[in-house]
A = this chain, B = another copy of it.
Amino acid sequence: MGRSRCNSGASVNLAELIDTVPDFPKKGINFRDITPLVASPVALQFIADKLGESALAAKAEVIVAIEARGFLFAGPLSVTKNLPCYLARKPGKLPKPTVSESYGLEYGAAELHIHRDTPLSGKNVFVVDDVLATGGTALAAAALVEQLGGIVCGYGFVIELSGLPGRQKLQGQATVRSLVKLDA
């Protein structure tokens, strides 16, 4: 059909594939828009390769993907590194009994859920999302993992917003990997 799987191993300038939209979702926020990045299969594979390397270096056995944009990167990572993927979702989305965590966002507040029967007990878990900002969402995901007896061995983000306290909040025993650093 004239198309083939995009090659692993290519280096990609991810920063060129991130748009900045001022004043979204509210005045004063420079929103980092990943639309061009998601439209690049080569970039998606590059991200899967790089975050996957960090996940395996941290001895991850499974990944937890944060709704919704984390889902875009979790699939390729899961497939590329053969890591089972579980979902941390917004309220009302998961059909079975869940455990939940409330958290503050860069703008607003929210709640994250995971199925209570997710088999994370004793497992090394790598948490995946698109952006590390204040770290609130990722910390909530980590708290879900810990509620279920899992160990957060690392976090993987495409973008890290510098000038916000995300990295300091997350760092401890866990690896924090981001692929592009941008101003908040």
Contacts and interface: CB of A to CB of B under 8 A. Distances in A.
Interface string A1-45: 101111000000000000101001100000101010011110011
Nearest to A70: B71
A48 interface: yes
Interface of A: 1, 3-6, 19, 21, 24-25, 31, 33, 35, 38-41, 44-45, 48, 56-57, 62, 65, 67-69, 71-76, 78-87, 89, 92-96, 115, 118
A115 B82 contact: no
Given A74-B72, A95-B25, A95-B31, A39 B84 contact: yes
B5 A86 contact: no
Contacts of A65: 72
A38 B94 CA distance: 13
